[in-house]
Amino acid sequence: KKQEELEERLVRENYGLVVSQALLFFKEASFTLEDYIQVGLIGLLKSIRKYDKNKSKFSTFASVCIRNEITNFVKKSKKKNKIIFDTTMLNKALGKKQYLSKDSIIDYLPNLNQEELFIITKKIENYTNAEISDMIFCTKESLSNKIVEIINKLQKCNQ
């Protein structure tokens, strides 16, 4: 209980440090600032748990941990075709009744074409079918057919 309170206090006190580190990475704009901040907060929590007051100043140690966590996140993301997403959101966005596993989806992403990746990304970002069809210059019916094709492809990879 005491440890949790200490962690919460240190997170509140060092939130600005996380934001400043996240802003350094946000210049790449591969992800949203919130993504970088969330990953940075994980780094901050790790630094709180591993900090040795005899070795260095906490803010210095925390900065390194936050930067490392964000750097690892970016590197792993690039290996996964530069797309990171919550599969629950994808399943919801595509209207799936049978849920697809994260690993099977991520492994299959390189097999999707650019348009299919774009559609998946926009569905995850909660764009409507009408908005997406305007973006890719097709009818809503055509987009619905494309979504069905994507779902079928993803289902095949999940078997």
Q: Looking at the structure, do residues 72 and 91 belong to the same domain, yes or no?
A: no
Residue 82 has what pLDDT?
Answer: 42
Q: Biggest alpha carbon distance in the chain?
A: 65
Q: Which helix (H) or strand (E) holds 45?
A: helix 33-50
Q: What is the pTM of this model?
A: 0.49
Q: Looking at the structure, do residues 105 and 75 belong to the same domain, yes or no?
A: no
- Determine what percent of the chain falls in helix, strand and coil, rounding each to the nearest 5: 75, 0, 25
Residue 66 has what pLDDT?
Answer: 93
Residue 63 has what pLDDT?
Answer: 93
Q: What is the CA radius of gyration of the chain?
A: 20
Residue 81 has what pLDDT?
Answer: 45
Domain boundary among 29, 63, 79: 79
Domain boundary among 60, 79, 98: 79
| Sequential pLDDT tens for the chain (159 residues) | 788 888 888 888 988 989 989 888 877 656 788 888 889 999 998 998 888 888 889 889 999 999 999 988 887 776 554 444 555 555 555 565 555 555 566 667 777 888 888 888 777 777 788 888 888 889 989 998 998 888 788 767 655
Q: Report how many domains make up the chain.
A: 2
Q: Looking at the structure, do residues 55 and 98 belong to the same domain, yes or no?
A: no
The parent domain of residue 12 ranges over: 2-79
Sequence-separated (6 or more) residues with CB below 8 Å from residue 49: 7
Give the closest residue to 65 by CA, choosing from 43, 41, 35.
43
**Dihedral pair phi/psi, residue 46, rounded to 5°:** -65, -40
Report the b/e string of 66-83 with b at 16+ CB within 10 A: bbebbeebbeebeeeeeb
